[in-house]
Amino acid sequence: MQGINEVEGKVAIVTGAASGIGRAITELLVARGARVIAEDIDPAVLAMESPSVVPLVADIAAEGSAEKAVALAMDRFSRLDLLVNNAGIIINKLVVDMSRDDWERIMNVNVTGAFLHSREAVKAMIPQRSGAIVNVASYASYFAFPTIAAYTASKAALAQLTRTLALEAIGHGIRVNAVGSGDVLTNILNTVAPDGNGVAALAAHGKSAPIGRAADPEEIAEVVLFLASERASFMVGSVVMADGGMSVKVGS
């Protein structure tokens, strides 16, 4: 496998690209020679525009957003090689306190958005008989925690979407895999942390992992890049755990 230059010349879509893991993935892809459609509901994504980054402000779960992202890749770069379904949200409520709107918003962003983007990406990749999809799952895909039932259910669904789509897509030369991330220093908990400091909450919880800390977004981005590259050419339907050993600890 020596001599493979990872993703140079590839075209990618990254959802949730404006901050955290998504921004780290986008920056790493660009640094390694890829061009990226950076999609996010946050208009801050517009500031990422460059010759290699085309920003798109969109709600990934909204009707037509996936089609728009793929069409933008084809219009600007004439192909689509990679999709990273990274966007995700979390709500911190007991099941008895959770509204249907709470539940559906989590599922729409974390699962339906990934489904819609994967469906449209595969359609674009089939004619070229190549491509890769990487989903950002979690150790919460496998383990339950009080107050985040919708999040854990959504990440479990994402893991199963990964496996099932992998079987359907590999015959077209398209690989589908996921990374099961642990606690990562991002702003995902800002709206649920009592003091609004989600990064501090994640840093504190990360200390309970065997590695003794939370991850930097760049560490998860490296795993995503590996799964997206030809270095992972024999990986199909895998959920690669990058959680500092949290799943090993929880499962013991």
For residue range 54-101, list pLDDT tens digits in order.
Answer: 999 999 999 999 999 999 999 999 999 999 999 999 999 999 999 999
Catalytic residue among 151, 169, 184, 244: 151
Q: Tell me 184's DSSP state.
A: B
CA-to-CA distance for 252 and 239, rounded, in angstroms? 19
Domains and CATH numbers, the chain: 11-250 (3.40.50.720)
Nearest to 106, CA basis, from 148, 63, 140:
148
How many distinct helices (H) and strands (E) make up the chain? 8, 7
139 is known as an active-site residue: no
48-54: average pLDDT: 98
CA distances from 7 to 10, 15, 35, 42, 239 (A): 5, 17, 9, 26, 20
Give tens-digit pLDDT for 19-48: 999 999 999 999 999 999 999 999 999 999
> Whole-model pTM?
0.92
pLDDT band (50, 70, 90) for residue 1: very low
Three-state DSSP state, 27 = helix
Q: Are 44 and 59 in contact (CB under 8 A)?
A: no
Nearest to 23, CA basis, from 212, 242, 184, 161:
184
Give tens-digit pLDDT for 140-169: 999 888 999 999 999 999 999 999 999 999
Three-state DSSP state, 176 = strand
